Amino acid sequence: MKRLSLRIFLLVAFTLSVTPSAFAADTSAPVLVDWKLIDSKTDISKGDGVLRIQFSLSDESDISDPLSNVGSTTTTQQTGFAFPKLISKVGNVSTYTAEATVKFGQAPGVWRWLLFPLRDAIGNSSQGFGPGGSWPINVWVYDKDFTETKRLADEAAAAKVIADAKAAADLKAKQEAEAKAAADLKAKQEAEAKAAADLLAKQEVAAKLAATKKTTITCIKGKLTKKITAIKPTCPAGYKKK
């Protein structure tokens, strides 16, 4: 009986010590792994248009079915809800397709896919992805007035604005670099001129000191010797410099 009680005690103790360390709580919302457009444009000049997309989400828990739609970037118009369909699940990654319908008569131009707040089965959620977020997926909606030609013209105009801004920034950077190089050259020349002036002044001071420094020479006349100290000493008449 004592052996049985001891075994039960050890089993309970082992379970209590192992189980918590083996459990990792899921506290993160689903995240967008990747996406691709099935349709990048649709034509509503003669009727409703369809836009389709595929995207993948990852989460440690089961993912609640997300919602999405497409909204105009120039008006408040949106499509109805596009209920994504799960097409595959590999490990923690679930892949969906979604289809949205743009109605005949709605505004043409640039529209954008929206992905509504993402939730998993245990209550973790995020704000989803949309304009200004990390999923700016633009598509184009055409009608009889908004044509491919106009779209290309709009894109070309936008590209020109970006190119002009970059060219202006590059020119400014070049001018600033040239101004800095000129300033550095001027500073170098001024430093060299100052160094030359300092050297000349030093040489002039040395020359003045040399000119005013007294020296001593020894003069002899037979057995007589004389020491003469002066700035430019010379021997007296009849004496020769030793």
Predicted confidence at residue 34, as pLDDT, reads: 85
Tokens of 11: 């089993």
49-58 sheet: strands from edge to edge: 31-37, 49-58, 93-102, 85-90
User: What is the tens place of the pLDDT at every residue in 30-60?
Assistant: 888 888 899 989 999 899 999 999 999 999 9
Predicted confidence at residue 12, as pLDDT, reads: 39
Q: What is the dihedral of CA 196, 198, 199, 203, to 10 degrees?
A: 140
Predicted confidence at residue 242, as pLDDT, reads: 79
* pTM, full prediction: 0.51
Predicted confidence at residue 157, as pLDDT, reads: 73
Predicted confidence at residue 93, as pLDDT, reads: 93
Residue spans of the chain under pLDDT 70 = 1-24, 127-136, 158
Q: d(Cα 207, Cα 213) in Å, to the nearest integer?
A: 10
Interior/surface letters 92-102, b for 16+ CB within 10 angstroms, e for the rest: eebbbebbbbb
Predicted confidence at residue 227, as pLDDT, reads: 87
